[in-house]
């Protein structure tokens, strides 16, 4: 790196952007200080060029935050209140864990229902699945607003209860939406998970990616391929530049056509943070070619990062943007030294292939640890296997998308693009299923520091710098880490159950925002829901010493209740499930049946035994047309006897069916434990909990979740009912049992 000044500029501007967006109250002071500093340096300092540029760039970042401040402050007033808003969609829509479509948007008006006022502020909207949520479309929606934390790009999150398309996307955005939709429809007619992945690889549409494949891509370190990333911009620009060159076009024509193709590609895939960064870098690269100067990768990256952060400082706190910039920097600075170091003991071609994903993994690992609760240990190998297929899937898939007016050609190209897409999906699924593929971590600064230390140690050992003391320190760090990891594998494997007390009969797994309850009687085990994450559920079952599930109950098919089902595939004997309404739900049940499970759709009146315990289904009613599949038709189970405290598991049942459950007269006698419905949401019937009079109320809930669960009013009604609240976000894993006629409780940690 001959001249590090560009990197220093980008780093300082990034730091200023983080300070401004996380502490906006100081942005005005920072603006004044930077302007005064720039004037002082310009007048009195001899070496003033770079210093003045840095100060002016930091001042520009501060000004962007200051200028947006009044509108964001006004928007924050609507926290927790019902709002009506008209928004213009500014990103592609993705299906969230809650089944809603989520997209970024810019408000045109915002206010109380019936009287919104003109205002412009970035928001994140969630609406029930509907057509027309496309980039550039104007929507009118009503719902509940929730203010975001400092540093988030959106000033509000709006949970829509009613939405309509006021003006559909028009012009190039409408054309792009139609082209994407047509390609998704064509691609999803192809078989297997490769079909769902292909639209993401080619045009950035991830709506067809299943939750299982998404989890596998994340666990294998291939999530950057799930949707269009910065690499795709480089592929498109290089391909167009090469084609025009083959046709004999002069340099100015090659650059111009490549830039036009890049702009069209960004519109087609929608401007996500990594695509913004890559498109700006590609445009700068084309400019250097047009001027006849050799490209300087690090300088271009620094200039791109600085310019983007001046325009939108909130991207500094966006994981995708940080990972994209970090990966590019790693390829520019670290890949070559790694390759030289590894050629000492492997062929040059192999070291070149490994150095690229390894460099990205070492630099991006600490950033991932800031916000992710897992680290992939198979990422390098998976990327090495999948990387050659990504450009093929992107280019051929894009050609299939653009050839839609000629259906036979489009079908042929889509089928050709499916092959590399299916390969990537297979690599993800196989590598994610390997033992020890994922290391669970606690997201935050401490984890980032630890991962950063390990990444630095690996880099030092492979690069082999001249300092012998530095190399010895790196080896020592790795030796200690291997020893600690070996101990962890013992404690979470053969010795996992040693940390849980004997004699428990009910366990609430700590699996984040979701439900996973285990009931045990005389050696027989029931699992009620699986939570959202197979890895977290598997860790809980190992800690409880459970290998076989006699009865798996899927109360309903929301992701936070069935997303972890892969952890028990082939281990469940009988599956008792709620009403099925969609194809994905049928496929999930078929997968369990293929693993040897017997499927039974639950309805009121069913009963059976679990060891020495008895269970009864109290809800839903058979062929009930009043309460549709989903939360309102959650399977409600009453279990008692055989050493199990009498317990009621409510799934996500809403207040109205709760009242109907009371009217049905099935809740006779006292209950010891109630699994509170819907993670403690506000949609509860106080009369139900008063009737139950349960001593313990268990709530499966994720820490700092976006829904505000459990709600204060729900906690209040549980207190009024005389129930002691046990929350997994505060206590971790919770175990309950009956001892001498009294309910006993054990938890991983005590609430703060």
Rounded CA separation 648/639 (Å): 7
Quick one: pLDDT band at residue 486, thresholds 50, 70, 90?
Answer: low
Residue with tokens 């300087």: 296
C-alpha Rg value of the chain to the nearest Å:
28
Give the pair of three-digit tokens for residue 116. 């919104």
Alpha helices (runs of H) in 500-614, residue ranges in sequence order: 534-543, 559-562, 583-594
Strand blocks (E) in 524-653: 524-528, 549-554, 572-577, 598-601, 607-610, 613-619, 636-641, 644-649
- Reported as a single tens digit per residue, the pLDDT across 338-394 is 888 888 888 887 777 677 767 777 888 888 888 777 777 777 678 778 877 877 888
3-state DSSP call for residue 220? Answer: coil
- Reported as a single tens digit per residue, the pLDDT across 625-675 is 778 788 899 999 999 998 899 999 999 999 999 999 998 888 877 899 999
Rounded CA separation 636/641 (Å): 17
pLDDT given for residue 19 in this prediction: 92
pLDDT given for residue 241 in this prediction: 79
Nearest CA-CA partner of 453 in 369, 383, 372: 369
pLDDT given for residue 432 in this prediction: 83
Cβ neighbours of residue 649 under 8 Å, at least 6 residues apart? 517, 528, 553, 555, 636, 637, 639, 675
Quick one: pLDDT band at residue 1, thresholds 50, 70, 90?
Answer: very low
Quick one: pLDDT band at residue 36, thresholds 50, 70, 90?
Answer: confident
- Residue by residue, DSSP assigns 97-158 as TTS-EEEEEEEEEEEETTEEEE---EEEEEE-S-TT--TT-EEEEEEEEEEPPTT-S-SEEE
Rounded CA separation 358/335 (Å): 8
The structure's pTM equals 0.62
Rounded CA separation 591/648 (Å): 28
Packing angle between helix 5-22 and helix 297-311, nearest 10 degrees?
20
pLDDT given for residue 492 in this prediction: 52
Buried b vs exposed e over 88-127: b needs ≥16 C-beta within 10 Å? Answer: bbebbbbbebeebbbbbbebbebbeeeebeebebbbbbbb
Residues in a beta bridge with 745: 736
Point out the least confidently predicted range of 416-425, 457-466, 484-493, 717-726.
484-493
Look at 359 and 98; give whichever has higher pLDDT. 359
Rounded CA separation 528/540 (Å): 13
- Reported as a single tens digit per residue, the pLDDT across 604-630 is 999 999 999 999 999 998 877 778 788
Quick one: pLDDT band at residue 527, thresholds 50, 70, 90?
Answer: very high
Q: How far is CA 153 from the centre of its chain?
A: 16
Longest dimension (CA), the chain: 89
Q: Are 502 and 737 in contact (CB under 8 A)?
A: no
pLDDT given for residue 110 in this prediction: 92
CA end-to-end distance (rounded Å), the chain? 49
* pLDDT exceeds cutoff 60 at 46: no
Quick one: pLDDT band at residue 229, thresholds 50, 70, 90?
Answer: low
| pLDDT averaged over every residue in the chain | 83
**Average of pLDDT values for 531-552?**
88
**Parallel, antiparallel or unpaired: strands 644-649 and 673-675:** parallel
Q: 241 — alpha (psi -120 to 50), left (phi > 0) or beta?
A: alpha
Nearest CA-CA partner of 682 in 650, 717, 711: 711
pLDDT given for residue 495 in this prediction: 45
**Parallel, antiparallel or unpaired: strands 644-649 and 636-641:** antiparallel
SS (H, E, C) 416-463: HHHHHHHHHHHHHHHHHCCCCCEEECCCCHHHHHHHHHHHHHHHHHHH
Point out the least confidently predicted range of 134-138, 324-328, 447-451.
324-328
Look at 310 and 382; give whichever has higher pLDDT. 310
Rounded CA separation 373/382 (Å): 19
Give the pair of three-digit tokens for residue 334. 């670290």
pLDDT given for residue 123 in this prediction: 92
Give the pair of three-digit tokens for residue 353. 């292939």
**Parallel, antiparallel or unpaired: strands 115-118 and 742-747:** unpaired
Look at 533 and 752; give whichever has higher pLDDT. 533
- Reported as a single tens digit per residue, the pLDDT across 502-513 is 779 999 999 889
Point out the least confidently predicted range of 197-206, 324-333, 416-425, 592-601.
324-333
Rounded CA separation 234/647 (Å): 58
3-state DSSP call for residue 79? Answer: coil
Peptide bond into 710 cis (omega under 30): yes
pLDDT given for residue 509 in this prediction: 93
* pLDDT exceeds cutoff 70 at 274: no
* pLDDT exceeds cutoff 90 at 689: yes
Quick one: pLDDT band at residue 487, thresholds 50, 70, 90?
Answer: low
**Average of pLDDT values for 306-323?**
85
Rounded CA separation 674/700 (Å): 11
**Average of pLDDT values for 691-707?**
89
pLDDT given for residue 3 in this prediction: 56
Instruction: Give me the percent of the chain exceeding a pLDDT of 70.
Output: 90
């Amino acid at each position: 790196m001959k001249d590090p000044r560009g990197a220093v500029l980008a780093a300082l501007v990034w730091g200023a952007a983080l300070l401004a967006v996380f502490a906006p109250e100081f942005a005005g002071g920072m603006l004044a200080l930077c302007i005064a500093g720039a004037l002082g340096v310009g007048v009195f300092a001899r070496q003033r060029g770079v210093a003045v540029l840095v100060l002016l760039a930091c001042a520009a970042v501060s000004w962007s935050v200051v200028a947006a401040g009044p509108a964001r402050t006004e928007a924050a007033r609507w926290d927790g209140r019902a709002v009506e808003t008209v928004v213009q969609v500014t990103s592609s829509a993705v299906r969230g864990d809650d089944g809603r479509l989520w997209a970024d948007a810019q408000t045109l008006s915002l206010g109380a229902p019936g009287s919104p006022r003109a205002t412009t502020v970035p928001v994140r909207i969630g609406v029930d699945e509907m057509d027309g949520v496309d980039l550039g479309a104007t929507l009118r929606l009503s719902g509940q607003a929730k203010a975001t934390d400092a540093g988030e790009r959106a000033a509000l999150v709006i949970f829509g209860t009613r939405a309509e398309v006021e003006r559909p996307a028009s012009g190039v955005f409408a054309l792009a939406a139609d082209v994407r939709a047509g390609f998704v429809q064509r691609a999803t007619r192809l078989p297997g998970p490769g079909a769902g992945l292909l639209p993401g690889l080619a045009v950035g549409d991830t709506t067809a990616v299943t939750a299982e494949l998404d989890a596998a891509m994340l666990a294998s370190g291939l999530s950057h391929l799930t949707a269009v990333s910065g690499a795709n911009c480089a592929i498109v620009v290089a391909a167009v530049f090469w084609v025009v060159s083959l046709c004999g076009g002069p340099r100015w024509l090659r650059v111009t056509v490549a830039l036009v193709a890049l702009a069209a590609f960004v519109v087609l895939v929608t401007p996500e943070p990594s695509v913004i960064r890559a498109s700006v870098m590609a445009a700068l690269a084309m400019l250097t070619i047009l001027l006849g100067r050799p490209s300087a990768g690090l300088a271009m990256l620094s200039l791109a990062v600085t310019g983007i952060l001046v325009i939108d400082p909130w991207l500094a706190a966006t994981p995708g943007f940080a990972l994209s910039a970090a990966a590019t920097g790693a390829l520019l600075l670290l890949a070559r030294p790694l390759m030289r170091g590894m050629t000492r003991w492997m062929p040059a071609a192999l070291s070149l292939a490994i150095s690229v994903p390894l460099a990205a993994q070492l630099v991006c690992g600490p950033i991932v640890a800031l916000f992710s609760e897992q680290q992939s240990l198979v990422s390098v190998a998976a990327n090495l296997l999948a990387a050659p297929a990504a450009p093929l899937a992107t280019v051929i898939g894009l050609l299939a998308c653009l050839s839609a007016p000629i259906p036979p050609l489009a079908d042929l190209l889509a089928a050709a693009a499916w092959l590399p897409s299916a390969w990537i999906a297979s690599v993800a699924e196989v590598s994610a299923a390997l033992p020890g593929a994922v290391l669970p971590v606690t997201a935050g600064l401490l984890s980032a520091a630890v991962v950063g230390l390990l990444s630095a140690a690996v880099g030092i050992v492979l690069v082999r710098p001249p300092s012998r003391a530095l190399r010895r320190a790196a080896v020592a760090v790795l030796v200690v880490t291997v020893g600690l990891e070996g101990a962890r594998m013992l404690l979470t494997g053969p010795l996992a159950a040693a940390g849980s007390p004997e004699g428990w009969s009910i366990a609430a797994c700590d699996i984040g925002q979701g439900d996973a309850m285990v009931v045990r009687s005389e050696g027989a085990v029931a699992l009620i829901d699986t939570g959202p994450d197979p890895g977290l559920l598997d860790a809980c079952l190992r800690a409880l010493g459970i290998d076989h599930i006699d009865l798996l109950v899927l109360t309903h098919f929301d992701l936070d209740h069935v997303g972890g089902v892969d952890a028990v595939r082939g281990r469940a004997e009988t599956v008792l499930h709620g009403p099925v309404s969609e194809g994905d739900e049928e496929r999930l049940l078929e997968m369990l049946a293929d693993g040897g499970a017997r499927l039974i759709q639950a309805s009121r009146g069913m009963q059976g035994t679990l060891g020495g315990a008895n269970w009864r289904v109290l809800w839903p009613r058979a062929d009930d047309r009043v309460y549709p599949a989903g939360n309102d038709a959650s399977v409600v189970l009453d279990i008692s006897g055989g050493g199990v405290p009498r317990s009621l598991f409510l799934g996500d049942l809403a207040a109205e069916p709760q009242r109907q459950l009371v009217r049905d007269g099935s809740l006779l006698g006292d209950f010891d434990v109630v699994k509170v419905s819907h993670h403690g949401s506000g949609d509860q019937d106080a009369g139900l909990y008063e009737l139950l009079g349960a001593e313990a109320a268990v709530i499966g809930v994720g820490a700092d979740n976006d829904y505000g669960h459990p709600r204060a009013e729900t906690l209040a009604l549980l207190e009024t009912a005389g129930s002691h609240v046990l929350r997994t976000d505060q206590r971790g894993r919770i175990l309950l049992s009956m001892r001498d006629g009294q309910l006993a409780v054990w938890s991983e940690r005590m609430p703060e």
